[in-house]
Structure 1
């Protein structure tokens, strides 16, 4: 998944702004040992920090570690250079995680967890003898999983059959897996259209297990 150029540019702008805040530091006092203690301009820090909070909130979310840590340090800021350095460190970590694609890894894990829940429901339905709704759930999960794979392999999202073929060409999986996915999709379509006698409970169980293995590899 490509990185947002606007977010990348904003991280760069705020990094430049942070360097300017640090460059404007001034000696507050000198200890008896001759060690200087610096403070940075409070107004410039708060302007920068507010911009960073807005970016972290929009990019990572209010519940993210980056946003929470930065917000906590911001609330305790008293002007000292060391306080600013702490905030700047959190900002740099957030930038590194974004540019390294870590944000999208987290989103993929979250999506995989949702799909795993859906497949758990499908298995419960199978165990209770309801193969048809189980196949419908598995079909939806299969398409969602292929969309996630498409974003990883620069394949344009679209209909399941086309994504399946293009993912195989892109090396996401081999031809045998492509044919198996086609078979699973057909079972899901039959379930959705009421052709329930066209497949068995064993077919349904194999489909759910197969889709589950794809989701596990996300």
Structure 2
């Protein structure tokens, strides 16, 4: 199973070993040596999952997780804690803080890969349910209706003097244009010959880059700033 992982750990040896093992297992991995670096990377690229050490200088794993959970973009982002503190009370504290899995050091790398695959598999299943495989018809109809209503107001909405610069990749731009046509993720995936999961990732990145939280907000933002045709 492929996926983008952010690994945050202040121990260079462990960080390099975990990165190498994850990459050998098919994952793309970005690394950070502390929570501040991890937070900066989160702003640049939305991962599918975060693996974080708990005991780090200045900002520890609990504070880093709290910062993520307080940001709408990262509320549902799976987080795995790695820590030398393996007492039951420590694990309870981790789960109460909002982590999805807690793996005491030393650990078997195969167990870490299994945890990551499980969390990403569950996230993909949820995305499939939300994005059209077993859709909420009423919610889908509402979103499409709202987007079509925005499109009828296109001239009035897109009255800004000039587009604002946003660094979209060509594929992100294609997804944005199709969202603005009122298509849901399953339809976009079919149009672009890709997976629903990939489309969900692109839509999440569009939310992150535009500071929006829903498809309707995204389309309005795109129309207001001349970001879609």
TM value normalised by structure 1: 0.29
Name the structure with the higher strand share.
2
TM-score (norm 2): 0.28
Greater C-alpha radius of gyration: 1
More helix by share: 1
